[in-house]
Chain A
Amino acid sequence: TQLLEQSPQFLSIQEGENLTVYCNSSSVFSSLQWYRQEPGEGPVLLVTVVTGGEVKKLKRLTFQFGDARKDSSLHITAAQPGDTGLYLCAGAPGSARQLTFGSGTQLTVLP
């Protein structure tokens, strides 16, 4: 069982559509991070959410941290082909000393 469960695992949509990716856990996190990984490259940090209920916006991407700090979501508005990639959430639960990554959501946006 993954500490961080991401859903859906795969998502293929048309350009212009909206989508939401979820990251869930039974553990409490002091913060969660979201990364995007493009083919042939390493993951790149998009955002860190710290406060329960926090909402952060990055252009067309909206990140939310659950009130109980056990889950997070990423919503993309009007998706573009450039949004294609593997989206990963990551966090260190409790007093854990290293990050744990979710299994990822592979997003494909078709032109």
Chain B
Amino acid sequence: KAGVTQTPRYLIKTRGQQVTLSCSPISGHRSVSWYQQTPGQGLQFLFEYFSETQRNKGNFPGRFSGRQFSNSRSEMNVSTLELGDSALYLCASSLVPEGNQPQHFGDGTRLSIL
């Protein structure tokens, strides 16, 4: 079956702009999590959505937000982009939102801020 799909794969923006990233989970998976990956900080949890509700949020500023649609697809938005937002943004899906559920990752969106 199709895996987790993230679009776009690459994105270049300038400081102050905003960006929206999209994630389509594996069919039947209702939980979607977002992570930021950088060389210095590793994989850091952003937030998790289940049944269109944010269930968990990591330690990121309010500029980072997300939502989930009724078909479980999810988007994340970053406003007022900063240079430090340059990173690989990964989306992962799982059947249910339990802490130990295996995560199925997409290949990420590489965001570069100029």
Interface of B is mostly: strand
Q: Is the CB of B105 within 8 A of A43?
A: yes
Chain A nearest Cβ from B7, distance in angstroms: 14
Chain B contacts for A90, CB-based, 8 A: 103
Q: Is the CB of A92 within 8 A of B42?
A: no
- Per-position binary interface string of chain A over residues 32-49, scored 1 when its CB falls under 8 Å from any chain B CB and 0 otherwise: 010100001111110010
How far apart sit A97 and B94, CA to CA, in the bound complex (Å)?
13
Q: Is the CB of B107 within 8 A of A92?
A: no
How far apart sit A44 and B43, CA to CA, in the bound complex (Å)?
14
With A42-B90, A42-B92, A88-B43 in contact, is A99–B99 under 8 Å at CB?
yes
Question: Chain B interface: which size bin?
Answer: 20 to 34
- Segment from A15-23, A57-65, A101-109 that makes contact with B: A101-109
Q: Is the CB of B107 within 8 A of A97?
A: no
Q: Which of B44, B90, B92, B99 makes the CB contact (< 8 A) with A97?
A: B99
Chain B contacts for A48, CB-based, 8 A: 100, 102
A–B pairs, 18, beta carbons within 8 Å: A33-B102, A35-B103, A42-B90, A42-B107, A42-B108, A45-B102, A45-B103, A48-B102, A97-B48, A97-B55, A98-B48, A98-B99, A99-B99, A99-B103, A100-B45, A101-B42, A101-B43, A103-B42
Task: Indicate whether A30 reaches chain B with its CB closer than 8 angstroms.
Answer: yes
How far apart sit A49 and B62, CA to CA, in the bound complex (Å)?
35
Chain A contacts for B55, CB-based, 8 A: 97
Q: Is the CB of B99 within 8 A of A92?
A: yes
Q: Which residue in chain A gives the minimum CB-CB distance to B106?
A: A42
Q: Is the CB of A91 within 8 A of B4?
A: no
Q: Which of A30, A96, A102 makes the CB contact (< 8 A) with B42?
A: A102
